[in-house]
Amino acid sequence: MRPLDVRVYVDGVGAGDRAVLARAITLIESEQPAHAALAQEVLEALLPKTGGAYRVGISGVPGAGKSTFIDALGTTLTSRGHRVAVLAVDPTSSISGGSILGDKTRMSTLSNDANAFIRPSPTSGTLGGVARKTRETILLCEAASFDVVLVETVGVGQSETIVAGMVDFFLVLLIAGAGDELQGIKRGILEVADMLAINKADGDNRSRATRAQASYQSALRLMRGDGAPPVVTCSAIEKTGLDELWAMVVESRSRLEAAGEFQRKRQVQQVQWMWDLVEDGLRRALRSDPELSTLTSDLEDAVGKGRATPGAAALKILRRFAERAGDALTHD
């Protein structure tokens, strides 16, 4: 599908046109170099319309019911007049390169809600459990007047804490009755969580959820002291506890804004985003240059077989990269 004109993207996204928004996201996610400049032009034009949404990252242990929870929370919010965008990140197969992209079927109610937009995106092997272009997609959804953006990550893992660098509030979804619950969660993800929510607190599981809540609260107080995040219980099936949970998200933002921390946090995230893109671009440049690609391949082999130290190999790559960049500038 051929890209649209910049003005068509900007006007369509700004008007909340879902079809144009979907095409704009596809443009942003494109790996074709020819699309990169157009994508950035679209983003820059839409930038004044961004920044107003609640950005919430949602992660969770396997079986915690993330999709069901998001479906329930999303419909609760749309019933209050919010417009909700869900960026559901699917794991990409390391063998086939394909991804399931089945979140719309797992969020059946929300996917049919006129005030919701669900966009599944493959991680493409990106560290952190989020798609490489998730940050840009958040901006496009905000420009389309979605005032809540929920980012569902692929699961709990040490690297997934990267999602905390692109949202205002990071929620970890858990379940009770799964044995030593804390053993299955990486310490890093608990250090950045803004809230723990124990899902499936219904029926016979309600009492187990309450006991698990107390256990998590004690563990988090030992780990983070007075800065320990709240631990709540909820049921996505019965839609209980969701209003109280969202009230805490809103209160957290209000508190940060009153202290002048909210905008500062967003600014720090923007700068980190810039450097992430620089590092990503440098890595891609290294891989795409035939000479450098051969050099890095040889050095990887040498390091792996113990013939060179990682430090010496890295220095050789960086020096040759600088030389190549200098040659390119001279010829330009």
Q: Is residue 263 part of a domain?
A: no
Choose among 320, 267, 268: nearest CA to 290: 320
Asked whether residue 9 falls in the same domain as residue 111, the answer is no
Q: Three-state SS for 116? A: strand
Distant-in-sequence, close-in-space partners of 7: CB < 8 Å, separation ≥ 6: none
Asked whether residue 227 falls in the same domain as residue 213, the answer is yes
| Per-residue pLDDT tens digits for 13-33 | 999 999 999 999 999 988 788
Expressed as residue numbers, the domain containing 190 is 51-258
193, 225, 258: which is the final residue of a domain?
Answer: 258
Asked whether residue 62 falls in the same domain as residue 118, the answer is yes
Domain tally, the chain: 3
Q: How confident is the model at residue 131 (pLDDT cuts 50, 70, 90)?
A: low
Asked whether residue 254 falls in the same domain as residue 212, the answer is yes
| Per-residue pLDDT tens digits for 226-254 | 889 999 999 999 999 999 999 999 999 99
Asked whether residue 17 falls in the same domain as residue 120, the answer is no
Asked whether residue 45 falls in the same domain as residue 157, the answer is no
Tell me the mean pLDDT in the region 143-152: 96
Q: What is the CATH number of the domain that holds 27?
A: 1.20.5.170
Asked whether residue 132 falls in the same domain as residue 116, the answer is yes
| Amino acid sitting at position 150 | L
Asked whether residue 244 falls in the same domain as residue 276, the answer is no
Mean pLDDT (the chain, rounded): 85
Q: What is the CATH number of the domain that holds 292?
A: 1.10.287
Asked whether residue 196 falls in the same domain as residue 305, the answer is no
Q: Is residue 173 part of a domain?
A: yes
Q: Three-state SS for 21? A: helix
pLDDT, greater one: 303 or 107:
303
Q: Is residue 103 part of a domain?
A: yes
| Per-residue pLDDT tens digits for 200-222 | 999 989 999 999 899 888 888 88
What's phi and psi for 117, nearest 5 deg?
Answer: -140, 125
Q: What is the CATH number of the domain that holds 62?
A: 3.40.50.300
Report the range of poorest mean pLDDT among 120-124, 223-227, 279-283: 120-124
Asked whether residue 159 falls in the same domain as residue 174, the answer is yes
Q: Is 83 exposed, middle or buried (0-12, 13-18, 19+ CB in 10 A)?
A: buried
Q: 217 with 182: CB under 8 angstroms?
A: no
User: If you search the block for the tokens 């309450």, which residue do you land on?
Assistant: 210
Is the predicted pLDDT of residue 318 greater than 60, yes or no?
yes
